[in-house]
């Protein structure tokens, strides 16, 4: 059973519940807070984790013109908080405070930075329930999945607390006998980290962890749709001892904040997770100041099911890869390529499994599929379905908005899809699994690579030889073989082609925040 908006108990009228610093605004123009969200919000407020101001130089600050933006619960449309709407001036101050903090933060020993990061990790884990609730409240994913995101997000802080101590340089055999040649690795400087809404915590910690570990300082811009988790995580960072200015958070006017970060000569690196279109713009805007850039952009992941696959493994793996976060991840299976001989059996078994998914409010026990982030996301899914059906695809399951209303969409399986339909070319970012038929291994590889994206791909086969042939041929940065959930802090995450630049997580993720300095010591034979 799921709780729809109608079943919720609305309380309160149009009123400000608390001070402007932690305001929960219930407006008469908007839906009133439901009992669930209300009690969760009040608990979060009393724990001090519901922050609505930006963080600049270690201080919680309103926007300079007192403007605010509203944060909605996507499951109900209700307003859950009113947060500072910051822009150019606040971002410039955040950059200045980061620049100032860089000198002392980068001069701490790796061990000192490591201890602070470890304390932050411990606090994130100690507050995993509350952080999970915040994620469900502002992003919509089921609470269990949200708490899973907290563990995943915190793991980057733990990992980089350890990795801070392993930033080794090199000594190079010299080219002349009176020289000694060294390589040092040093932090790049101030980092601008621009994060998306689909993982309100993990996409921030995956950037901030290695940045702080390597000695960089950071200005974070969370998504305007999900700033509350970022602010709570920043509060815990302060409690852990991250010094003023080393971590700043500004949110609100995205173009102004982006422009300020990109045009600043003090910001030496931009790291971004989001759409390919925005990534291209950021890359161009970073050129005049020649910043280092890491981009984790859109995907178009194929999940390739071969005739020789174990059907149960293929169904379970594709289900996990497709429906995680209701289809709203960059590594979600976007196209399910199924070989001729197993196509019908797979379609039936997969549809049966999809039918068991439980759509509902993320706070409802048993929910596995939350809402989409907003109505624009639902409209995009609808237009892709319309396009596919008009070109001959057939809906097996779902295919329309869920009866719960709001932005809930039915988990959908659609067959007879071809690689030239919109949903095969672009990221669906919703709970729709298109099944595409193929005949040979060569066809599968050609179809899989026939896209500008190259983030994640999945293969299901029982042949070791085939899996090697195919994963070597796939133009993707990540490949899962007989596995649909492959993200972990210990492995490199990132794409090829137009899915991005650089890697996050693992030892490789640290390199993105380090510059290499070569030192040549001359006249070394003198006594």
Interface residues toward ligand SIN, by CB under 6 A: 198-199, 202, 273, 296, 329-331, 487, 493
Helix pair angle (128-139, 227-240), 10° resolution: 160
426 burial level (CB within 10 Å; 0-12, 13-18, 19+): middle
Residues 6 or more apart in contact with residue 442 via CB below 8 angstroms: none
| Cβ closest to ligand SIN, residue 207 vs residue 268 | 207
What is the smallest separation between the CB atom of 216 and ligand SIN, expressed in angstroms? Answer: 21
What is the smallest separation between the CB atom of 327 and ligand SIN, expressed in angstroms? Answer: 11
What is the smallest separation between the CB atom of 429 and ligand SIN, expressed in angstroms? Answer: 9
Q: Which residues pair with 108 in a beta bridge?
A: none
| Cβ closest to ligand SIN, residue 138 vs residue 441 | 138
Sheet holding 170-172, edge to edge: 170-172, 180-187, 514-521
Query: For residue 335, which of 421, 404, 229, 242 has the smallest C-alpha distance?
Result: 421
| Cβ closest to ligand SIN, residue 260 vs residue 331 | 331
Residues 6 or more apart in contact with residue 435 via CB below 8 angstroms: 336, 338, 343, 346, 347, 350, 413, 414, 415, 416, 417
| Cβ closest to ligand SIN, residue 114 vs residue 273 | 273
Q: From the centroid of its chain, how far is CA 358?
A: 23
Query: For residue 489, which of 233, 210, 159 has the smallest C-alpha distance?
Result: 159
| Cβ closest to ligand SIN, residue 163 vs residue 296 | 296
Q: Which residue is nearest to ligand SIN (CB)?
A: 487
Residues 6 or more apart in contact with residue 20 via CB below 8 angstroms: 52, 62, 82
What is the smallest separation between the CB atom of 456 and ligand SIN, expressed in angstroms? Answer: 8
What is the smallest separation between the CB atom of 132 and ligand SIN, expressed in angstroms? Answer: 16
What is the smallest separation between the CB atom of 329 and ligand SIN, expressed in angstroms? Answer: 4
- Two structure tokens written together for 487: 């993200």
| Cβ closest to ligand SIN, residue 197 vs residue 408 | 197
| Cβ closest to ligand SIN, residue 97 vs residue 499 | 499
Using alpha carbons, list the distances in angstroms from residue 263 to 90, 102, 216.
14, 19, 18
Residues 6 or more apart in contact with residue 109 via CB below 8 angstroms: none
Which residues participate in catalysis according to the annotation?
296, 330
- Two structure tokens written together for 95: 């950059």
Query: For residue 313, which of 435, 456, 461 has the smallest C-alpha distance?
Result: 461
What is the smallest separation between the CB atom of 378 and ligand SIN, expressed in angstroms? Answer: 19
Let me know: does 308 contact 465? Beta carbons within 8 Å.
no
What is the smallest separation between the CB atom of 321 and ligand SIN, expressed in angstroms? Answer: 10
Residue 144 in 3-state DSSP? helix
Q: From the centroid of its chain, how far is CA 84?
A: 22
CA distance 372 to 367: 14
| Cβ closest to ligand SIN, residue 88 vs residue 275 | 275
């Amino acid at each position: 059973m799921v709780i729809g908006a109608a079943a919720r108990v609305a309380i309160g009228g149009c009123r400000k519940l608390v001070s402007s610093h932690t305001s929960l605004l219930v407006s008469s123009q908007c839906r009133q807070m439901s009992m669930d969200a209300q009690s969760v919000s009040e608990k979060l407020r009393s724990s001090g984790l519901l922050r609505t101001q930006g963080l600049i130089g270690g201080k919680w600050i309103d926007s300079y013109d007192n403007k605010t933006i509203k944060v909605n619960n996507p499951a109900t449309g209700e307003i859950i908080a009113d947060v500072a709407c910051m822009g150019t001036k606040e971002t410039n101050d955040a950059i200045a405070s980061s620049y100032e903090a860089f000198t002392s933060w980068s001069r701490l020993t790796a061990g000192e930075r490591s201890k602070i990061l470890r304390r932050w990790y411990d606090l994130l884990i100690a507050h995993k329930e509350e952080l999970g609730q915040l994620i469900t409240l502002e992003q919509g994913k089921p609470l269990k999945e949200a708490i899973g995101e907290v563990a995943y997000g915190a793991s980057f802080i733990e990992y980089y607390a350890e990795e801070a101590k392993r930033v080794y340089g090199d000594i190079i055999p010299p080219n002349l006998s009176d020289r000694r040649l060294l390589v040092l690795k040093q932090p790049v400087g101030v980092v601008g980290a621009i994060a998306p809404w689909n993982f309100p915590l993990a996409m921030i910690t995956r950037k901030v962890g290695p940045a702080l570990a390597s000695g960089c300082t950071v200005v974070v811009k969370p998504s305007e749709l999900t700033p509350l988790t970022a602010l709570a995580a920043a509060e815990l960072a302060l409690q852990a001892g991250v010094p003023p200015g080393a971590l700043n958070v500004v949110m609100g006017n995205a173009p102004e904040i982006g422009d300020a970060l990109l045009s600043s000569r003090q910001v030496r690196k931009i790291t971004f997770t989001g759409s390919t279109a925005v990534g291209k713009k950021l890359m161009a805007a970073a050129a005049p100041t020649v910043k280092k850039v890491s981009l984790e952009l859109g995907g178009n992941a194929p999940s390739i099911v071969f005739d020789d696959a174990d059907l149960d493994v293929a169904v379970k793996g594709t289900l996990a890869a497709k429906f995680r976060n209701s289809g709203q991840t960059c590594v979600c299976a976007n196209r399910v390529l199924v070989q001729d001989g197993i196509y019908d059996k797979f379609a039936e078994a997969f549809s049966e499994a999809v039918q068991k998914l439980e759509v509902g409010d993320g706070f409802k026990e048993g929910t596995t599929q939350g809402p989409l982030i907003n109505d624009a996301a639902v409209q995009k899914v609808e237009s892709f379905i319309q396009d596919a059906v008009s070109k001959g695809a057939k809906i097996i399951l779902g295919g329309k908005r869920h009866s719960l209303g709001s932005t809930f969409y039915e988990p959908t399986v659609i067959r007879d899809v071809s690689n030239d339909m919109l949903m095969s070319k672009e990221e669906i970012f919703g709970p729709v699994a298109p099944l595409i038929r193929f005949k040979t291994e060569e066809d599968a590889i050609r179809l899989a690579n026939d896209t500008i994206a190259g983030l994640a791909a999945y293969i299901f086969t029982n042949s070791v030889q085939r899996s090697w042939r195919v994963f070597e041929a796939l133009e993707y940065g990540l490949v899962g073989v007989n596995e649909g959930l492959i993200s972990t802090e210990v492995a490199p995450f990132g794409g090829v082609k137009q899915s991005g630049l650089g890697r996050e997580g693992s030892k490789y993720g640290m390199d993105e925040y380090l510059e290499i300095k070569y030192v040549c010591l001359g006249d070394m034979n003198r006594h």
